[in-house]
Structure formats: C-alpha cells, structure tokens
Amino acid sequence: MSKSEQVRKITPKLDASAFIKVGSSGLSNWQAVNELIANSIDSWISTGPKKNLHVDVILENNPVNLEEGKLIITDNAGGMSLDELEQSFNFYDSGKKDDKNSDTYLGVFGFGFKAATSKIGKKITVITASNDKEFHQIVADYEKIEGKGTAVKLDIVTKKQDSASKKLFNNSPVGTRVIIDRFNSSFPIEVLEEYLPISWKKFIGPENGFDKKVKITRSSGKTKKEVLADTSHADVDTIFPINETIKIGKGKNKSEVTISGFVGLRTNKSLLNMPTQGIHLYRRGQLVEPYTHEFYKKGDKHNAQNSLVGELDIGLDASVTKSKFDKDTEEYKQVKSELFKILSKFAEEARIMSIAANQDKKSVDKAIAEYRKKMGLKLSAKQAKLIASGGTVADKDTGGGGKKDTVIDVAVGDDDSVKFRMNSWNSFTIDGDKYQIIFEKVADEAKDGKLYSTMPPQGSDIYVVYYGGHPQGTHLEKALEKQEKDNISALLVRVIISESVETFLKNQKLSASETKECINKVMNYKLQKGK
C-alpha cells in the first residue's frame, strides 16, 4: 500500500451468504439495472439537484461464456462518502428514510443495491467520490465470500484524485461507478433497449419536474446511444387523463392514494400485439410493472384488447426491490377495486378500436369519434359529423354472412394477423421479423448435464449452445453436418429447433394454440433447393 492510499476494513452486518441469496429476490436483469439507476437518481436528488445528471450504461454480454459478461454503470451524481459506501454493503441500512428528501427518493430500504448486483453477476466493484480530493474503491467477490459467514472482511481503499480519476465519472470528479463481472445469466442489450425508454421516460423526458436534465446512455461494443423517452403509441385523440384520489383504510388508518396518468388506444394495425398491450405502473416516476391488465380485465390478457395502452403513477409503496406492488395488502386491493370501476370500460373500447384498426382509416376515424363521445371528450367538427352519419364500427359486418365482430383473435396462418413461416431449416419469420437459429458448440460438459441450451435472442439471432463434452455431443455435431442429406439427422435437429422456437414464442406471449400451430410449421417444413 502506497502512502497515498488508506484502507478501511469493513464487516457487513449479515452473513456473507446473503449477498448470493438476495440475487434470487425475483428481479429480472432489466429491473436490477433500474435499481442501480435509481440509486444514481437518488444521489443526484440529494445534491439539489445542482447539475444535469448523466448515467452511462455499458453492457458486454457473451451468451456462450457468461464469465466474460460485464456491466458498468457510471453517474456524475453526488457520489458516496467513506461512511456511505460502507453503509451500502449493509442490509436494510439506509439513511434515506430520515433524509429531507425521503418523500422524493426512489429507494429507502437499503436492499436494492445488493439484490441488483447479486442478480446480475458474481463480482462487484464500486468506485465513488463525493469531492475532487479523493475517491474510494471496494471489490466484493460474492462467490469467494459466500462461505465466510459473519467473519467476512472487505477492504475500502481510499486514494487521492488525479487527472484520470477526475474524468472517471462521465468527465466529472464526483460520482459513482459500479462494475459487475461474471454474469449469472445471458443479458442481451436488446433487453435494455426495450425497457430503459419505458422505465425512465418520466425523468429523461422534457418535463421531468426538475430544473436540470437527466440523460441516460447505453452502449454495447462500439455502439453508444442516448436513451429516448418511450411513446405509448396511443392515438393523441384517444388519450384519456386519469387523476384520481382514492380513500383507503378505515378509522384512524384512513388515508388517500393519488393516481395520475392516462389510458389511450392504439389505432395503427401494425402496433397491435399482446405483449405490449396494457398499462405501465410507476412509483415516483420509476417503472414498477410494465404491460399490466388487471385494472381493465379479469383473467388473462386477450387479443381483443391489443389496442389498449396507458401509464399510471400510483402513490403506494412497492416491494423492497421495486419490482412489483404488494398485491396482498388491503390498500392495494382497494385501489385495484376502485380503478377497475373506472377503467374496465376501456376494454370494450379497445375491442371496438381493434376491429376498426383491422379495417381501414375511415373506420378508425369513426371509432375515435364514437370513443370521444362516450368518454365525454370534446368532438371536432369532423368527428361530430361522423357521429351524425349514424351506425357504429361495432355493427360492421365481417363478410361472414351477417355475423358481427365480437373479438379479434390472433391466429397463425398465411392470411391471418400473425404470420409465421419457415425460411430455411434454421430460419423463420414472424410478423415480418426474421430470426436465425445458430448452433454454437462448447467443448466442455454443461454443469447441469444438459446436451444443449437455448439462449435469449441476440437481436435477430437465437443461439442454441450444445456441449461437446456431453455423451451425445458428438452425435448432435454429426447430425448438424448431415441434416440436409439424412432424414434421421434432420429429424433430430428439427426437434431441437422446434423446442427453441417454442421457448421464443412463449416469451412473445403467444397462446398455447398459436404456439402449437407455429411448431407444426417447424416440424412440417420440407427442405427445398434455394432455401
């Protein structure tokens, strides 16, 4: 240790095995990233905030070798003092709840940081500075300390700032950098591309409620992009504002819960799909639950409501990891009951709009006019004229002998709304998006004894990793080589591909019958020249 360095040895207040265990708290990888970004925002809030916030997310993922996975999140917020850094490694130990900004902070439990880092990877490094004089660094290898019980010691190294460290935090001498190594699971950049714009739109949008701006950037490899606030894709003429104050509890425990946001309808046929149907639930501007339907429909989602989208910020506490609201509390049940009374009517409106969107623009315009009239929204002269012309979109004949539309079911076939086809033995197209299945050999034997594993999509590529060390690994390799000429080899490969496609389709929220039809197309595909 040099004279310019100082070391503080710390002992976390709980058994070291807890660092591994909290990784199983139910967080998804994108939610874990959100927890770390929330910490950056809270640190920024604690400063005033006095400057624009920049959070940079770097993700390097290797689905074949998870040990090479790395996530780096850097901010130029307030940073942590030596005591605060030590405190961050204790469970349920946070000074936020007693802070003057406690009503604004996204996190107060002192749990999310540990859960998030442990969910993503096995080794964590934190570098932080709260001034331009010195910075602190700690390294924790969760696997190495797991068996050390309460005797685990971690070193916080304090060093003097130099020219390099003063630019470390997004060109700022103050801030925090969190580095997570050795991933527990594959973490494609596409996951962040989908969820970051939704998760933080309230902060990165033009009206974030602060005098300063918030910018989030994400990168993988040499590609770096600024995250832009997601749009709901709801037609502007269908936006219905929600501003409710719901009284909950009884007697002395009586209180109020404020709910704000909107519900709207998509009118573009190409945007109508079940996975992105629903209402995003937020708490204090942070996404808690995406694509929910429980406030407008009982039971499972249905394709008839694919038009419906919305956003609601609910003034209730979320779980300690902010991955969901506690739905077993009486407060949540009351809120749900009252919201259902307000929003259930939108399910029928979404059904009608889905019908219109699958017809033509004239039908969409008519449906919007009908919708605005029923919702008490002001009508334009054109919309008033459409209403006066009589008839409704719901009354339109489908061409089936006078039978009226009652539901829009997504079916699989050449002439249906969801189109699936095999392009070649390892390539398929669904709804115009092409995917390729790539077989990747790993020389070793899988720890769980599997012959092969399907990885989450990497863009348009779906990797099937097979293990050469498996007793059947050589046979599978030979089958891949011969499958275009040998029927038995082709059958083996086709079965594996069908399982991979099935996993992919289930993640796309297709129904069991829809998935079955797609799998039949996989199994029935015949090799043809030129394909």
The answer to the question of residue 409 being in a domain is no
> Do 310 and 184 fall into the same domain?
no
- DSSP code of residue 169: T
| Contact status, residue 503 vs residue 454, Cβ threshold 8 Å | yes
Structural domain boundaries enclosing 316: 236-349
- DSSP code of residue 397: B
Q: What is the mean pLDDT of each run of 10 residues along the chain (531 residues)?
A: 81 75 78 95 92 97 92 97 90 55 68 87 96 96 81 91 96 97 91 94 89 94 91 93 90 87 94 90 94 91 91 87 81 92 94 91 94 94 90 55 36 50 86 83 72 78 83 87 82 89 80 82 64 37
Residue 114: name the closest of 79, 130, 138, 97 by CA.
138
The answer to the question of residue 361 being in a domain is no
> Do 158 and 242 fall into the same domain?
no
> Do 165 and 118 fall into the same domain?
yes
> Do 209 and 278 fall into the same domain?
no
Q: Which of 349, 366, 398 is the last residue of a domain?
A: 349
Query: Residue 119 is inside which H or E element, if any?
Result: helix 112-120
> Do 60 and 183 fall into the same domain?
yes
> Do 183 and 74 fall into the same domain?
yes
> Do 201 and 256 fall into the same domain?
no
- CATH number of the domain that residue 207 is part of: 3.30.565.10
The answer to the question of residue 32 being in a domain is yes
The answer to the question of residue 324 being in a domain is yes
Domains in the chain: how many in total?
3
Q: Look at the block and give the residue holding tokens 């696997």.
A: 143
> Do 475 and 508 fall into the same domain?
yes
Handedness of CA 9, 13, 14, 15 (dihedral sign): positive
- CATH number of the domain that residue 267 is part of: 3.30.230.10
The answer to the question of residue 158 being in a domain is yes
Structure tokens at 247: 């009284």
The answer to the question of residue 193 being in a domain is yes
Q: In this predicted structure, what is the pLDDT of residue 24? A: 67
> Do 222 and 243 fall into the same domain?
no
> Do 98 and 192 fall into the same domain?
yes
Q: In this predicted structure, what is the pLDDT of residue 515? A: 83
Q: Which of 226, 248, 269 is the last residue of a domain?
A: 226
- Number of Cβ atoms within 10 Å of the Cβ of 401: 6
Between CA 471 and CA 481, with CA 476 as vertex, the angle to 5 degrees is 145
The answer to the question of residue 368 being in a domain is no
Q: Which of 319, 349, 379 is the last residue of a domain?
A: 349
pLDDT digits (tens, 9 = 90+) for 409-452: 333 443 344 578 888 888 888 877 788 898 888 777 766 678 88
Q: Look at the block and give the residue holding tokens 């002998």.
A: 401
> Do 270 and 134 fall into the same domain?
no
Max intra-chain CA distance, the chain: 89
Cis peptide leading into 471, omega within 30 of 0? no
Name residue 458's beta-bridge partners. 461
The answer to the question of residue 378 being in a domain is no
Rounded-to-integer distance, Cα 346 and Cα 482, Å: 54
Q: In this predicted structure, what is the pLDDT of residue 402? A: 36
> Do 21 and 166 fall into the same domain?
yes
